[in-house]
Amino acid sequence: MRSTVKVGTSTCGLATGAEATFRALQEAVSETGLAVSTQRTGCLGACHREPLVEIVVDGAHVLYGPVTADRARPLLEGHFTLHGAPPPPEDWVVSRTPDRRDYAFFAPQVKVTTANCGVIDPLSLEDYLAAGGYEGLRRALAMSPEAVVAAVTDGRLRGRGGAGYPTGLKWKICRSQPDPLKYLVCNADEGDPGAFMDRTLIEGDPHRVLEGMIIAAHGIGARWGYAYVRAEYPLAVKHLEAAIAQARDAGYLGTDILGSGLDFDVIVKEGAGAFVCGEETALMHSIEGRRGTPRMRPPYPAASGLWGHPTNINNVESYASVPSIMTGGAEWFSSLGTSESGGTKTFALAGAIQRTGLVEVPIGVSLRQVIFDVGGGIRDGHSFKAVQIGGPSGGCLPECLLDTPVDYGPLRATGAIMGSGGMVVVDDTTCMVDLARYFLSFTQDESCGKCIPCRIGTRKMLGILTKITRGEGDTADLDRLQQVAHTIHTTSLCGLGQTAPNPVLTTLRYFRDEYAAHIHDRHCPAGTCTALR
């Protein structure tokens, strides 16, 4: 009998006391003398039931949660029926099947990039190899670089950072540059409030991200890679650095990788707390030791990036999708999604719903499926009001748009964007004007100040919104908001400014009555705005 007890100890798990649970389990194992190994894993995504503990006995899985430290011993005794202890209460059980599909949260999900998260020990290269890791790299190295780029193109992978630029095309442009020194950057500066996909991926399965980067290096001909990780993610930095060290020792990084002649290595750079550094040119300035201000494009990084050399920048999730394209094939990968974009998309599901966490769904499923099937709908008897998708660059969509498929084009048509994957659901207790004001306060705070429309325009929009939430607004303010928003959107230098008005424009479009209530009735329907209570 081979038994393993796995505890999810990502940041989200740790925040609920997973470390204490893990220690209590270790103690209980040694005291009871059970022949059980304990293991730390990443996050399975079911954050609403954390701390999560999975007990695997001869391939039979039972997932428990929440398992606080005081439940550790009764859980072990109950599960292994020691000293005639009763089995753990049924409401501790999350699921009982290996693929966890008996739990509604997991059933509609298709786990590709997060397949290993919460399953393997992220700090163990052996675990990753046992799960099929670096097989994609082996296959890629057996192919010509052009064939690798073609496979990514055929898989219809689009940039998971939010803008959705076709990844294969990006690689092709970078590859075609004559400059022999090329760089590659992994953008893990996940700054959108309400988004934690990249954190979960790196914390739970750092080797997958690394493997994707190495395959990209082969495809593009890059010599050096930078992984730019957000400063607020110390655990992700630790895991990624450990994975890089292991990969170097095992010959997946360095010179002549796996005897293929490919030379590539990765350097981890920590961000220092600036949302705008998620913008690719700002990110490059930050790596170069400059203020993280964006610059004009063209030239695009693919032609002139770090220190003037061609540079390919992709998001964590984009890289994490690549190994699966190599192993599963471009055709399989593209068949997961829609005719426009292949594969899956992870979303950080949060807010006023029953089941929050990290979910991965095929591109093209509807918002309704994500929120109601996976997320289980609104909690505490409240009713759905809006879903905020895409963070400060995205928008708030009402119930009538819930059948919109999660895909780049259809979401952009609504005024929101796909974004990097933040999805916050709000119920009738949230004021949409206040939410718009919140996002503007964020972008205003994070504006780098380089261009006038963003530096001053967001400030003025915030001022108007604050006025409205205080009950001091008038009808002309709405026109003024719209007018300034239009100029900021059209004339700002970078994506931060260009998309900053989206939360305001979408709420104005879909929840104008709430603005009207604040202005005409001096009343906040949700009761959020304290000045209007």
Partner 1 sequence: MPSAASGTTARPRKTVYLGDPLAEPPPPELLAILERHRGRGDVLVTVLQQIQAQYGYLPERSVRYASRELGIPLARLYGVATFYNQFRFTPPGRIQLQVCCGTACHVGGAPAIVERLKAHLQIAENQTTPDGIFTLQTVFCVGCCSLAPVVIASGAAHGRMTPGGAESLVRDLGAAEEGRP
Partner 2 sequence: MVALTIDGRKVEAGAGSTVLDAALAAGIEIPRLCHHPELTAWGGCRLCLVEVEGQQAPVPSCGLAAAAGMVVITHSEQLEAHRREVLDLLLSDHPLNCVICEKAGACDLQRYAYEFGLSESSHEKEIARKLYQDENAFLVRDHQYCILCTRCVRVCEEIVGASAIEVAQRGFEAFVATPFDAPLVETPCTFCGNCVQVCPTAALVPVDRIGKGREWDLTRTRTVCPYCGTGCGIEVATRGGEIVSVSGYGAPANGEFLCTKGRFGLGFVGHPDRLRRPLIRRDLAYSLGLIDTPPPAALGRSPLGRSPAAGETHVEVDWEIALDLVADRLAAVVKESGPDAFAGIGSALCTNEDNYIFQKLVRGVIGTNNVDLCARV
Smaller CB separation from partner 1, 75 or 236: 236
Chain centroid to Cα 23, Å, comes to 29
User: The tokens of 277 are what?
Assistant: 């550094």
Place of tokens 């740790």: 14
Q: Which does 456 bind (CB under 5 to 8 A by kind): partner 2, partner 1, none?
A: partner 2
d(CA 229, CA 238): 10
Contact call for residues 435 and 388 (beta carbons, < 8 A): yes
* Contact status: 455 vs partner 2 (CB under 8 A): yes
- Residue 470: contacted member of partner 2, partner 1, none (CB under 5 to 8 Å, by partner type): none
Residue 449 makes contact with partner 2 by CB under 8 A:
yes
* CA–CA distances in Å: residue 231 to residues 189, 265, 357: 8, 21, 22
The yes or no reply on residue 452 touching partner 2 (CB under 8 A) is yes
453 binds partner 2 (CB under 8 A): yes
Helix (H) or strand (E) holding 23: helix 18-32
Q: Is 377 in the site for partner 1 (CB under 8 A)?
A: no
Q: Is 133 exposed, middle or buried (0-12, 13-18, 19+ CB in 10 A)?
A: buried
DSSP secondary structure code for residue 454 in this structure? I
User: Which is closer to partner 2, CB of 290 or CB of 512?
Assistant: 290
Q: Does 487 bind partner 2 (CB under 8 A)?
A: yes
Nearer to partner 2, 52 or 484 (CB): 484
> SS3 breakdown of the chain: % helix, strand, coil, rounded to 5?
45, 15, 40
Question: Using H for helix, E for strand and C for coil, what is the string for 356-376?
Answer: CEEEEEECCCEHHHHHHHHCC
Residue 459 touching partner 2 (CB under 8 A): yes
Q: Quick one: tokens of 206?
A: 């750092």
Instruction: Out of 65, 145, 168, 191, point to the residue binding partner 1 (CB under 8 A).
Output: 191
272 binds, among partner 2, partner 1, none (CB under 5 to 8 A by kind): partner 1
289 binds partner 2, rule: CB under 8 A: no
As measured in angstroms, the least distance from the Cβ of 167 to partner 2 is 21
**CA-based nearest residue to 467, from 456, 478, 457:** 478
Which C-beta is closer to partner 1: that of 127 or that of 190? 190
- Based on the shown chain and the rule CB under 8 A, indicate whether residue 456 belongs to the binding site for partner 2: yes
Between 359 and 493, CB nearer to partner 2? 493
Please choose, out of 21-29, 125-133, 145-153, 424-432, the segment that lies near partner 1 by the rule CB under 8 A. Answer: 424-432
12 forms part of the interface with partner 1 (CB under 8 A):
yes
Q: How far apart are CA 416 and CA 396, in angstroms?
A: 7
Rounded Cα distance between 512 and 471, Å, is 15
When CB distances are held under 5 to 8 angstroms depending on the partner's kind, the choice from partner 2, partner 1, none that residue 457 binds is: partner 2
Which residues lie below 8 Å from residue 90, measured CB to CB, with a gap of 6+? none
Work out whether 450 is an interface residue with partner 2 (CB under 8 A).
yes
Specify which residues 270 forms β-bridges with. Answer: 229
Applying CB under 8 A, the span of 264-272, 358-366, 447-455, 500-508 interacting with partner 2 comes to 447-455
* CB contact burial 154-177 (16+ within 10 A = b; e otherwise): bbbbbbbbbbbebbbebbbbbbeb
What is the C-alpha end-to-end distance of the chain, expressed in Å? 63
Give the nearest distance from C-beta 495 to partner 1 in angstroms: 17
Other Cβ atoms within 10 Å of 483 Cβ, number: 10
From the list partner 2, partner 1, none, pick the one residue 231 interacts with, judged by a Cβ distance below 5 to 8 Å according to partner type: partner 1
Judged by beta carbon distances under 5 to 8 A according to partner kind, the member of partner 2, partner 1, none in contact with residue 251 is: none
Out of 192, 317, 360, 373, which residue is the one contacting partner 1 (CB under 8 A)? Answer: 192
Q: Which does 484 bind (CB under 5 to 8 A by kind): partner 2, partner 1, none?
A: partner 2
Per-residue x/- mask for partner 2, residues 295 to 334, rule CB under 8 A?
A: xx-x------------------------------------
Distance (Å, whole) CA 59 – CA 204: 21
Site string for partner 1, 260-299 (x = CB under 8 A): -------x-xxxxxxx----------xxxxxxxx------
How many residues of this chain interact with partner 2, rule: CB under 8 A? 30
Dihedral, CA atoms, 445, 450, 454, 457, nearest 10 degrees?
A: 100
d(CA 9, CA 29): 18
C-beta atoms surrounding 178 within 10 Å: 5
Contact positions with partner 1 (CB under 8 A) in 306-365: 307, 348-352, 356-358
- Applying the rule CB under 8 A, the residues between 493 and 522 that interact with partner 2 are 493, 498
Nearest to 217 by CA among 317, 324, 145, 157: 145
Residue 514 touching partner 1 (CB under 8 A): no
Distance CA 402, CA 257 (A): 47
Q: Quick check: 204 and 235 in contact, CB under 8 A?
A: no
Strand order in the sheet with 357-362: 357-362, 344-351, 422-427, 384-389, 395-398
Interface with partner 2, residue 274, by CB under 8 A: yes
- Comparing CB distances to partner 1, the nearer of 175 and 230 is 230
Which structure tokens are listed for 527? Answer: 């009761």
Contacts of partner 1 in 207-236 (CB under 8 A):
226, 231-234
Nearer of residues 455 and 509 to partner 2, judged by Cβ: 455
CA 514 to chain centre: 31
Q: Quick one: which segment of 49-57, 378-386, 431-439, 484-492 binds partner 2 (CB under 8 A)?
A: 484-492
Contacts to partner 2 by CB under 8 A: 274, 291, 295-296, 298, 444-453, 455-457, 459-460, 463, 480, 483-484, 487, 490-493, 498
Contacts to partner 1 by CB under 8 A: 11-12, 14-16, 47-48, 50, 190-196, 199-200, 226, 231-234, 267, 269-275, 286-293, 307, 348-352, 356-358, 388, 391, 422, 424, 426, 430, 435, 438-439, 442, 445-446, 448
